Structure 1
Amino acid sequence: MESPKALGLGSSLMNVQELAKEPMLAIPQPYIRSEEEEPSIPSHGSDSRQTIPVIDMNRLVFGQTDLELENLHFLCKEWGIFQLVNHGVGSSVVEKLRNEIQGFYKLPLEEKMRYKIKEGDVEGYGTILMHENQKVDWADRLYMITNPVHRRKDHLLPEFPSSLRESLESYISELQKLAMTLLGLIAKALKIEEREIEEMFDDGMQAMRLTYYPPCPQPEKVMGLTAHSDATGITILLQVNGVQGFQVKRDGIWIPVNVLPDAFVVNVGDVLEVCHMLSLYSAMVSTRALSTGQL
């Protein structure tokens, strides 16, 4: 059997957002998944039996701290994912970012392509193709490292339109503070010295991925986001609009994540799982493509 031809990092693929605008008789082959690769669609029964648990940041810090820490410990061990409410990130910061992200994806393609992934790189706008038979997600992405500042690519954040850049800078700062606070609380819940967490993550890398999932005429044939666990300490996810599709695997069943208004979804990453906190669970997540678009 002939091995797939290597294409190299940064090889281009047709923009999914533009592809979705055109009448389609069939989904292009690179996006079609085999039956083995498709997560099962959650049933109404599983939807009603299990929902993604919620952690209240106010209760963690100011309220019934011990009880909420026990809950946090349990969720990190058994679920690896939870929704975070009353997180302290200003609603104006979040709402402005939502508007700016939607504005970015409404830009003409030639404008967005100013920030495309460059040959041999992984940061930027677009899809990375490693070989010609690779299956790809039904999504468009803009990925970039945001901290430490010296690792930022000159053609990305520094070159964004001023309103988007300012919104991102505010959000990046707020999320960095929230992440460190949350990691400290996870350490406390697991009875680990907070100093160890600070040494591990305080000067660590922070990255952002802005993803748009265009509507798909045959959503059952594609994946918006391939099933995976995150190679991070924690991932903090913000849903820009209310369209569903994000799901988590628990006990072999895919459960929809119905995100609460103003909540973040926090996913425990592989880095916490493989370090000395071996009792943690790194959640397997995916995003199903839908007939309506989402961010």
Structure 2
Amino acid sequence: MSPSQVDESVTMTEEAPTFAPCLPVPNVQEMVRKNPLQVPKRYERSEEEMEKENYKSHLSSEIPIIDFSLLSDGSKEELLKLDTALKEWGFFQVVNHGIKTELMQRMKELTAEFFGLPVEEKNKYAMPPDDIQGYGHTSVVSDEQILDWCDQLIFLVYPTKFRKLQFWPETPEGFKDMIEAYSIEIKRVGEELISSLSVILGLQKDELLGLHNEVLQGLRVNYYPPCSTPEQVWGLSPHSDASTISVVMQDDDVSGLEIRYKGSWVPVTPVPDTQVWRLFEAHTE
């Protein structure tokens, strides 16, 4: 598909909300650029936090894989696999989702180009202190809080009336269009998965979607600069998302994502053209 153009003239029928006020913190990428060996105390985790005794890498190959094309065709076997994945894991990987490889690869490339820009250019889209849209760092509520070793770029993409297009980067060229094109595809796959969940629950296919008066869809990009002591920092702190669905697109050659399963941490080995999904909250411990 051709990337859809971002509509710069969207009429705001309702004021776009603000979310999660955040204290200002240093730009990690710029800090590393100035001194690659510096790791401030505020980023260092305790030995207890970094303990890996409950780390089970051998379970990585057991993370459920769902064939989206079969799910869309109403395969009862694939619906049963999804049901089991949600009950036992709360996470699964999706293959044959129909999102073109070229689109996903271009999204990664343009994202990398954005974070490669001079900090002065990136700061044109700096996140305000009372919101989460834009370039910066979120969820900092205390001056004593230990920080994550990452910088972020966050947008609300749906409903369109909540978009704040002043935070959608003009550079690199085509990035705004790619954000739009990628978000459209994620929305398509996400809605189909929710419809499948309706069927699993014995409801009409469109019933759960109907309960979502307006789908609030956001896009977050996490950038993890190199660290001289990676064993002492977290790129992103352990957390549970509050959304109905979470989707993670990993770099094909970089491991790092881990999921919580029955009290242990399980690494998610990147698989090309595959995305990791979470539906609702899973209590598997």
Q: Normalising to structure 1: TM-score of the pair?
A: 0.82
**Residue aligned with 2:120, SS:** helix
CA distance in 1, matches of 2:174, 2:53: 38
CA distance in 2, matches of 1:241, 1:20: 24
Shift of 1:247: 0.4
Within the alignment, does 1:15 sit opposite 2:47 as a pair? Answer: no
Q: Cα deviation per residue 1:54-103 (whole Å; 9 max; x = unaligned)?
A: 1111222338x111111100111110101100001122221221111111
Unmatched tracts of structure 1, length 5 or more? 1-7, 271-280, 285-295
In structure 1, the partner of 2:271 is: 260
In structure 2, the partner of 1:276 is: none
Cα pair distance change 1:194/1:36, threshold 3 Å? farther
Cα pair distance change 1:282/1:136, threshold 3 Å? farther
Matches within 5 A, 1:220-259: 220-259=231-270
Matches within 5 A, 1:132-151: 132-151=143-162
Matches within 5 A, 1:102-251: 102-128=112-138, 129-157=140-168, 159=170, 161-201=172-212, 203-251=214-262
> Which range moves more in the overlay, 200-209 or 8-17?
8-17
Shift of 1:123: 1.7
Identity %, equivalent residues: 33
> Which range moves more in the overlay, 181-190 or 67-76?
181-190
Select which of 106, 111, 114 maps to 1:96. Answer: 106
**Residue aligned with 1:260, SS:** coil
CA distance in 2, matches of 1:106, 1:41: 36
Please state which structure has a larger fraction of its residues in strand.
1
CA distance in 2, matches of 1:187, 1:193: 6
Cα pair distance change 1:47/1:10, threshold 3 Å? closer
Cα pair distance change 1:164/1:14, threshold 3 Å? same
In structure 2, the partner of 1:275 is: none
Within the alignment, does 1:40 sit opposite 2:56 as a pair? Answer: no
Equivalent residues, number: 264
2:191 maps to a residue whose letter is M
CA distance in 1, matches of 2:26, 2:217: 28
Unmatched tracts of structure 2, length 5 or more? 1-19
Cα pair distance change 1:202/1:10, threshold 3 Å? same
- Greater relative contact order, per chain length (Cα 8 Å cut-off, separation 6+): 2
Q: Cα deviation per residue 1:225-263 (whole Å; 9 max; x = unaligned)?
A: 111111101111111342101101112111110021100
RMSD: 2.3
Cα pair distance change 1:25/1:142, threshold 3 Å? closer
Select which of 82, 86, 97 maps to 1:72. Answer: 82
Q: Normalising to structure 2: TM-score of the pair?
A: 0.85
Shift of 1:27: 1.8
**Residue aligned with 1:155, SS:** helix
